[in-house]
């Protein structure tokens, strides 16, 4: 079963008009690019583990009679949803889609800010979840650091940007 036609439709929704724009396969296959995506994938896997651990902690607390506020459950669902979305962006960026790199880079900068602001609201989340949010944010900042490297920005530069040669 070939899923690519369906994924291209999803790409069109997520990437807009530039959904079909890909970077050169040679640049995507560059060892530095592959290494960066390997790190990003592992960091996202850690994010999934953290989100899953938060769900387990919340479930254990619930089964032991602790009532958790709606924002706690909402946060758990949102984090897992965000992480799955970021995995999709990373996967499509590894295939060379510039829009996916752009979205991954943007959200890896925005989500930590939102998460840290929410963690700073007194009483909104229990201490264990505030700690989880801080760790989640630090990992996303690490992902953003990989995506913001000179090499990665040059690989995924806009198609009409001719200000510098491709990375060596």
Give 137's strand partners. Answer: none
Q: Are 148 and 20 in contact (CB under 8 A)?
A: no
The span from the CA of 68 to the CA of 61, in Å, is 8
Model confidence pLDDT, tens digit, residues 106-161: 999 999 999 999 999 999 999 999 999 999 999 999 999 999 999 999 999 987 75
* Res 72: pLDDT: 93
Q: How far apart are CA 91 and CA 85, in angstroms?
A: 10
Domain ranges of the chain: 30-155
Express each pLDDT in 70-89 by its tens digit: 999 999 999 999 999 999 99
**Whole-angstrom distance, CA of residue 155 vs CA of residue 139:** 23
CA distance 143 to 44: 8
- The neighbour count for residue 99, using CB atoms within 10 Å, is 22
More confident residue, 14 or 63: 63
Across the chain, mean pLDDT equals 89
pLDDT at 101: 95
């Amino acid at each position: 079963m070939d899923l690519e036609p369906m994924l291209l439709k999803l790409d069109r929704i997520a990437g807009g008009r530039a959904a079909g724009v890909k970077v050169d396969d040679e640049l995507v296959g560059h060892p530095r690019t592959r290494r960066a995506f390997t790190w990003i994938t592992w960091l996202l896997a850690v994010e999934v583990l953290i989100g899953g651990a938060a769900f387990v902690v919340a479930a254990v607390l619930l089964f032991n009679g602790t009532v958790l506020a709606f924002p706690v459950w909402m946060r758990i669902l949102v984090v897992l949803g965000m992480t799955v979305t970021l995995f999709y962006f990373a996967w499509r960026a590894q295939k060379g889609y510039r829009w996916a790199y752009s979205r991954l880079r943007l959200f890896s900068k925005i989500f930590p800010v939102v998460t840290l602001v929410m963690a700073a609201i007194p009483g909104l989340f229990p201490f264990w979840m505030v700690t989880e949010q801080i760790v989640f944010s630090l990992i996303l900042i690490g992902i953003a650091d990989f995506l913001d490297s000179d090499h990665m920005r040059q690989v995924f530069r806009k198609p009409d940007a001719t200000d510098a040669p491709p990375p060596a």
